[in-house]
Amino acid sequence: DAGVIQSPRHEVTEMGQEVTLRCKPISGHNSLFWYRQTMMRGLELLIYFNNNVPIDDSGMPEDRFSAKMPNASFSTLKIQPSEPRDSAVYFCASSLGAFKDGYTFGSGTRLTVV
Amino acid sequence: GDSVTQMEGPVTLSEEAFLTINCTYTATGYPSLFWYVQYPGEGLQLLLKATKADDKGSNKGFEATYRKETTSFHLEKGSVQVSDSAVYFCALSVGGNNRLAFGKGNQVVVIP
């Protein structure tokens, strides 16, 4: 398996623009997680899905952030409009059974908002 | 709620030194415990795990033992290399929610 695939790897955008981050989980995994990592705040869980259904989005910082999972093989995290404080590395992870196997993380998208 | 606590601050040590990173947990049930490693510019990778008390996880020379009596899962390596420089995260499974709770991570810097 190719692992969890995220795109793009790097994104530079201007403040106010819409940004869409993409994630393809491992085939067969039924849970998907979006994290944000910054030096100041560390690793933060934004939202997670179980069987394509959002279960907990309490970590989504503002209404500017939204996430979708239209099918088992694709998810998006959208920021609209983007702000400089959204600059961070965004990770996607997937899992079939966290108790036994934990999560598999993607390589991340480094977002810079200027 | 269920959580893990890692020791504060970065760890700097010389090559071939002994490494210990402390991790203690709080849980209402019987969680699984994990260590993840994040190399510069990469995502988190599973390093080792233990699913029940007294289990020892091991990988790449690293070891950690699930100690229920002390609620701990300390990470150890007998002789570190420069290539072990990374951030290390402790994590535990949370109830039946198919979720993990992560510690804040420890930056490890190994000097030649």
pLDDT, tens only, B25-38: 999 888 999 999 99
A10 Cβ contact list (under 8 Å, min separation 6): A109, A110, A112
User: What are the pLDDT digits (tens) for A5-64?
Assistant: 999 999 999 999 999 999 999 999 999 999 999 999 999 999 999 999 999 999 998 899
Alpha-carbon distance A27 to nearest alpha carbon in chain B (angstroms): 17
Tokens 């290390």 locate to: B88
Tokens 């990173």 locate to: B21
Strands B33-38 and B19-21: unpaired
Which residues lie across from A78 on neighbouring strands?
A: A20, A66
Select the residue from B99, B102, B106, B107 to test the A interface by mutation, using most A Cβ atoms within 10 A: B99
* B34 neighbourhood in chain A, CB within 8 Å: 102
What's the confidence (pLDDT) of residue B96? 67
Residues counted in chain B: 112
